[in-house]
Amino acid sequence: MKAKIHNIQIDLSKPIDISIPITNDEQNPIAWYQNAPEITPVVMGDWIGKVAEGQSSTNFNNLFFNPHAHGTHTECLGHITREFYSINQCLKAFFFWATLISVQPEKVGEDLVISKLQIDKALQSVPNSEINPEAIVIRTLPNDVSKKSLKYSNTNPPFLSEEAALFLRESGIQHLLIDLPSVDKEKDGGKLVAHKAFWNVKDVNHLNDDARLNCTITEMIFVPNEVLDGNYLLNLQIASFENDASPSKPILYSLE
């Protein structure tokens, strides 16, 4: 099936899934000092909700997980505000023009940091097209498949500089996707400068009128190496949770 949007051909039969699923085995990535997610059949007395056990006609599982810690997730500014905001209410559109770039974080003291200059340079290297990107997908280098099962806690992963997040906001990027557990430093004393800069949140206790309620950050994606830097159509799929974040399934489609 093909679609034509603004004279751009898109083959919808060739989705590029850049999400990491939630599993209940050792392959699941984990961040923020959490245990592995749990997917277990319901047990009520002698009855077990698992067809293989021979007592149930259906598989009937309970799931216990944390969206921020256990796989690809999309969050809204409610992640950092005192007042409750839900990703299910903030994200109301699901298709966006997106640009994929690859960046190797730079060593800054004991940290690995993605700078404004790196992002700007990578964006300029993408061939010109008819699209004006609403989303950016950042793939960090080196890009090994082990990212799909890393245990991030206490490893000080790479992160975005505040200046880089501000640059993306000022460039009109509404949706930021990255293959790291956070756009901010793992242990920063709660400053969260990149989150605040991107969402334009000046005071977490009293939300300013120009805060970016409709903008999202998606973390812990994985973009295979064979997917080339360039422009795509993004389908940003979430589950309907009334929560600051939801597990998500971002899909890219190549432009023809």
Nearest to 133 by CA among 164, 176, 86: 176
Put simply, whether the predicted model's pTM sits higher than 0.75 gets the answer yes
The C-alpha atoms of residue 182 and residue 198 are separated, in whole angstroms, by: 13
Q: Can you list the pairs that 25-28 forms with residues at least 24 positions away whose Cβ atoms lie under 8 Å?
A: 26/149, 27/148, 27/149, 28/70, 28/71, 28/149
User: What would the CATH number be for the domain defined by 2-23+68-254?
Assistant: 3.50.30.50
Task: Tell me the C-alpha distance between 130 and 4, whole Å.
Answer: 13
Number of H helices, E strands in the chain: 4, 17
Domain boundaries, the chain: 2-23+68-254
Strands (DSSP E) found in 29-157: 38-41, 43-44, 47-48, 61-64, 73-75, 95-103, 106-108, 111-114, 135-140
Where do we find the tokens 């489609």? 253
Say whether 26 sits in a helix, a strand or coil. coil
- Is the CB of residue 169 less than 8 Å from the CB of residue 197? yes
* Residue 80 tokens, joined: 């950092």
What six digits make up the tokens of 20? Answer: 């990491």
Q: Where are the beta strands (DSSP E) in the chain?
A: 2-5, 8-11, 16-17, 38-41, 43-44, 47-48, 61-64, 73-75, 95-103, 106-108, 111-114, 135-140, 159-160, 175-178, 216-219, 230-238, 245-254
| Residue 198 parent element (H or E) | helix 193-199
**How many CB atoms are located within 10 Å of the residue 146 CB?**
10
Render each residue's pLDDT in the chain as its tens digit; 256 residues: 677 677 789 999 999 999 999 999 999 999 999 999 999 999 999 999 999 998 899 999 999 999 999 999 999 999 999 999 999 999 999 999 999 999 999 999 999 999 999 999 999 999 877 788 999 999 999 999 999 999 999 999 999 999 999 999 999 999 999 999 999 999 999 999 999 999 999 999 999 999 999 999 999 999 999 999 999 999 999 999 999 999 999 999 999 8
Pairing of strands 16-17, 245-254: antiparallel
